[in-house]
Amino acid sequence: MATATFRIWRGDSGGGAFRDYPTEVSEGMVVLDAVHRVQAEQAGDLAVRWNCKAGKCGSCSAEINGKPRLMCMTRLDTLNLGEPVTVEPLKAFPQIRDLVTDVSWNYEVKKKIKRFKPRPPDAADGTWRMQQAEVDRVQEFRKCIECYLCQDVCHILRDHHLHDAFIGPRFLLYNAALEMHPLDNEDRLQSLKDREGIGYCNITGCCTKVCPEHITITENAIIPLKERVVDRFYDPITRLFRMLR
C-alpha cells in the first residue's frame, strides 16, 4: 500500500498551522477517506464536517491544493501524491476549528431573500398550469447542494469581505430560481440592486468553475439577473416602453 502526505490545517479562530500527516492510501480513495484515516490513526481530535460521502449534502467543502472542492468527490488519483496534499478550511467564513468553518452567515442571508409568491391559481380547484419548457431553465438552479464552494471562491467575499453588501453567487442563484419561475409574481430587482449588491459581481466565472453540480452560475443565473436589473434601472428605452404600455 502506498503512502501519501496530507498537509492539514489545524487550529481555530485564534490561529493555527499546517501539519503533515503521512498515511497509507489505496486505489479508489478520495480525500475525505484519507482525512478519516488520519483522524482514526493519528489525530483523533481533528475536526471535519461530513455527511453523505456522495457529493450531495455539501458538508465536506474544503480547499484542496488551494482549490475549493468537496473532499468526498476529490479522488486521490487526480492529485499528485508525490508532494503533500494541502487540505484547508474555507476562506470566506469564520473558522471554528481545523477544517470546520461557521457558514451560518449564509442561512441568515437566505432568510432575507423575498419568498416565492405564486400568481393566483389558474384553475378553479386552486391549482396552476405550467409547461415543462418553462421550468427547465430554473431546474438547473435547483441542483444546488449548498456546499458554499461558490461563496468561498468569490473574491468579493473571500478577499474583500463585503458580506454586508453582497450576498454571493449561491444566493444570486437562489434569487434566479425564484425570479425566473413561471408562477412567481414577486419583484426582487430593487433588492437585488440595492440590498443584495448584484452590481459588485464582476463576472469572473470562478463560481461556475468550482460548482460540483456543474451549474452554470455566472452565465445562466447572474448575468440574466444583471440584465433584468439593467431593464429596470439603467436602460432608458426599456423604461420608456414600460411607461407607454
Partner 1 sequence: MAERVIPLLETRGFGQTMRRDAWWGQPLLTFVILGAFVVYATWAAFQGEHYEYGPYLSPFYSPLLFGAGPHSWFGPWARPAWWPGALPFSAALLILWAPGGFRFTCYYYRGAYYKAFWADPPSCAVGEPRKKYLGEHSFPLILQNVHRYFLYLALLFLVVLTYDVWVAMWFTDPATGAQRFGIGVGTLVLATNLVLLFGYTFGCHSLRHLVGGRLDQFSRHPGQAKVYGAACRLNGHHMRWAWGSLFSVALADLYVRLLSMGVITDWRIL
With H, G, I as helix, E, B as strand and everything else as coil, classify residue 85.
Answer: strand
Contacts of 11 (CB under 8 A, 6+ apart): 17, 95, 97, 98
Contact 99, 47 (CB under 8 A): yes
Binding track over 25-64 against partner 1, x by CB under 8 A: -----------------xx-------------------x-
- With binding defined as CB under 8 A, does residue 18 bind partner 1? yes
- Closest contact distance (angstroms) between CB of 74 and partner 1 is 13
Question: Is residue 201 near partner 1 by the rule CB under 8 A?
Answer: yes
Specify the residue for cell string 487526480: 78
Query: Which of 14, 66, 82, 120 forms a contact with partner 1 (CB under 8 A)?
Result: 66
Strand partners, 152: none
The set of cell numbers assigned to 235 is 436602460
Is 228 among the residues that bind partner 1 (CB under 8 A)? yes
Verify binding: residue 187, partner 1, rule CB under 8 A: no
Q: Which is nearer to partner 1, 19 or 53 (CB)?
A: 19
Q: Which of residues 144-163 bind partner 1 (CB under 8 A)?
A: 153, 155-156, 158-160, 162
Q: How far apart are CA 68 and CA 65, in angstroms?
A: 9
Q: Which helix (H) or strand (E) holds 134?
A: helix 132-141
Q: 159 is written with which cell numbers?
A: 478577499
Among 40, 52, 230, 240, binds partner 1 (CB under 8 A): 230
Does the protein bind partner 1 through residue 191 (CB under 8 A)? no
Closest distance to partner 1 from the beta carbon of 153 (Å): 5
Interaction between residue 133 and partner 1 (CB under 8 A): yes
Distances (CA, A) of 28 to 21, 39, 41, 90: 19, 19, 19, 25
Residues in 99-128 that interact with partner 1 by CB under 8 A? none
CA distance 205 to 202: 9
Least distance from partner 1 to the Cβ atom of residue 245, Å = 14
Distance (Å, rounded) from C-alpha 200 to C-alpha 165?
8
Q: Which residues contact 244 (CB under 8 A, 6 or more apart)?
A: none
Query: Shortest gap between Cβ of 122 and partner 1 (angstroms)?
Result: 11
By the criterion CB under 8 A, which residues form the site for partner 1? 7, 9, 11, 15-22, 42-43, 63, 65-68, 80, 83, 86, 88, 91, 130-131, 133-134, 153, 155-156, 158-160, 162, 165, 179-182, 184, 197, 199-206, 209-210, 218-219, 223-224, 226-228, 230-231, 234-235
